Structure 1
Amino acid sequence: MSGETRVLPALAAGEAEVPFTILHWSEAFARDTTWNEHSHPFHELLWNERGASTAVVGSRVWTVTPALGLWMPAGTLHSGSATAGTWCRAGFFGFGAVASLSPTPVAVEITPLLRLLLERLADTGLPPGSRAVTEAMVLDVLTPSPSELLLQMPTSELLRPIADAVRDDPGDQRTLAQWAARLGVSKRTITRAFNAETGTSFARWVAAVRAQHAVTLLTRGWEMEAVAEEVGYRSVSAFGAAFRRTTGLTPGTFRAR
């Protein structure tokens, strides 16, 4: 089954009036779906009921899951993608009615309480008074998460072969020295480029790619042993330790429910 590309407009924050405080949206995708770069006049909280999706702002790539969502401020240009089988959900927050949680995109932990409150707002028959109380409770518990599944992509021609290879195969075992030899530059040159373009080291960047890919597999129901092997670790314990260092969370957080 072929994929689908959806084209949405780029609207400034508050450019279009919206008659809601929080509006629920939900869709399960039968085929791979991508969205062009666009922006909304309202704030958006993205999370998933099932599976993992991505949101891209410039060179930053976030993974959105059932456990970890993403706050997207109104007017922020972003693109996205979801694989077949993913069930995406979102809350749209009126620009004039709700102050942004952050001036830039930020991760949000989808706690059991927050999930229940958001699910309650999906009830179209909810009385106005109950809806207002529930919306107030959502805004009260909605906070940025110290953990996030974020990957800062390098942009230079020098690092592009490395970035493409590791994202295509997160289990790639080539070392910094091997990449330097292949590209005909020194290890120091690659190290400096990674620090300048991604704010982190080559090793930590690879670990972030592996963590994002692992989350996608975990939300699809893969077993921990298979995930660890797929993303280049020799044991589940080594995978778990690297995952916790990278994300601040355990792999079990993202296991399919």
Structure 2
Amino acid sequence: MRPDFGAGSRAAGPGRRGAAVRRRLPLYAAGEIDVAYVVRGTDEAVDRDTWWEEHSHPTHELLWNRRGASSATVGARVWTITPLVGLWVPAGTPHAGWAPAGTVHHAVQFRARSVPSISGAPVAVDVTPLLRLLLDRLTAEDLDPGARARTEAVVLDLLAPSRNELLLRVPRSPLLAPIVAAVGADPAEATTLAGWAARLGVSTRTITRAFQAETGLGFSRWLATARAQRAVELLAQGGQIADVAELVGYHSASAFGTAFRRVTGVNPAAFRSR
């Protein structure tokens, strides 16, 4: 299941319609079912906040969004999926998902027996304009076999791990659980590292070491990444930059812009326009 880090505890926001729904899908091993296609994509417009409980596919899967931001969780790792950066999930990998109402997501399945995985573990993929066009072409029902095979070959040639993944590792230790819960409920949570140390009765060094051990990041970098994930969703829903900055805990749009760019590689305005 996705850690209750944000979506499950968020108040209703732009695009949310009705109660959230949960979907259950089976767990398949890689190649357990042999499919007739090499590459097949499907679109879905999500009309209600939706959770996909943990499942796995017999195929490799590329997830990306035509509109909005969603997330996928594998263990303690949470990836944010956008129109710019998708997620490759190798066949047989258990994962869970979350998408707010208004998201239009595109899931592409790749035949595991024909297509080698681009990575041994889930990895972000840049969804370039060319890749989008080629994947769109493969949805055409009247595409002749030769043209389909050539298009599939170019798609496979373009797929490569991205350097711009928005990945958050969620700590699981009891020591850090209060911090994870507080930031998940409100990314603008303003308690400092020293403040958390006082509340938890430990030293700042203890908290820092725990974050480094579990996430590879210090407290400040981890918090900035958590805030950036929430900001991506709000911007994708049409939120104004100044409003989003305040909602995720920054006192100015410029400070927010600097932190957002450091995590995502683009500034909020560029992300929002694209």
What TM-score do the two structures reach when normalised by structure 2? 0.91
- Tell me if the contact between 1:67 and 1:253 (Cα under 8 Å) persists in the aligned partners: no
Q: Say which of 18, 26, 32 aligns to 2:49.
A: 32
Any idea what the Cα deviations from partners look like across 1:26-70, whole Å, max 9, x if unmatched? 100111111111111100000001111110000000011111100
Aligned mates of 2:171, 2:141 — CA distance in 1:
44
**Which residue of structure 1 lines up, in the alignment, with residue 31 of structure 2?**
14
- Secondary structure of the 1:255 match is helix
Aligned mates of 1:256, 1:244 — CA distance in 2:
14
Q: CA deviation at 1:248?
A: 2.3
Identity %: 60
**Which residue of structure 1 lines up, in the alignment, with residue 179 of structure 2?**
162
Gaps of 5+ in 2: 1-17
Any idea what the Cα deviations from partners look like across 1:192-248, whole Å, max 9, x if unmatched? 111111111000000000110010011101111111111111222211111122222
1:185 maps onto 2:202 in alignment = yes
Aligned mates of 1:202, 1:103 — CA distance in 2:
29
Matched letter for residue 87 of structure 2: L
Matched letter for residue 154 of structure 1: P
Equivalent residue runs for 1:76-225 within 5 Å: 76-225=93-242
Aligned mates of 1:184, 1:237 — CA distance in 2:
34
Any idea what the Cα deviations from partners look like across 1:171-211, whole Å, max 9, x if unmatched? 11110000111111111111111111111100000000011
Matched letter for residue 194 of structure 1: F
Q: Say which of 253, 257, 269 aligns to 1:236.
A: 253
Aligned mates of 1:252, 1:125 — CA distance in 2:
39
Query: Which portions of structure 1, spanning 4 or more consecutive aligned residues, are displaced by more than 4 angstroms?
Result: none
Aligned mates of 1:250, 1:101 — CA distance in 2:
28
Gaps of 5+ in 1: none
Aligned mates of 1:176, 1:205 — CA distance in 2:
12
- Secondary structure of the 1:66 match is coil
Any idea what the Cα deviations from partners look like across 1:114-164, whole Å, max 9, x if unmatched? 111111111122111111111111111111111111000000111011011
Aligned mates of 2:273, 2:43 — CA distance in 1:
18
In structure 2, do the counterparts of structure 1 residues 256 and 48 end up closer, same or farther at CA, with 3 Å as the change threshold? farther
Matched letter for residue 90 of structure 2: P
RMSD between superposed Cα atoms in Å: 1.1
- Tell me if the contact between 1:44 and 1:92 (Cα under 8 Å) persists in the aligned partners: yes
1:67 maps onto 2:84 in alignment = yes
- Tell me if the contact between 1:218 and 1:256 (Cα under 8 Å) persists in the aligned partners: no
Aligned mates of 2:166, 2:270 — CA distance in 1:
12
Aligned mates of 1:54, 1:221 — CA distance in 2:
17
Q: CA deviation at 1:253?
A: 4.2
Aligned mates of 1:78, 1:148 — CA distance in 2:
17
**Which residue of structure 2 lines up, in the alignment, with residue 57 of structure 1?**
74
Q: CA deviation at 1:256?
A: 5.8
Aligned mates of 1:19, 1:141 — CA distance in 2:
22
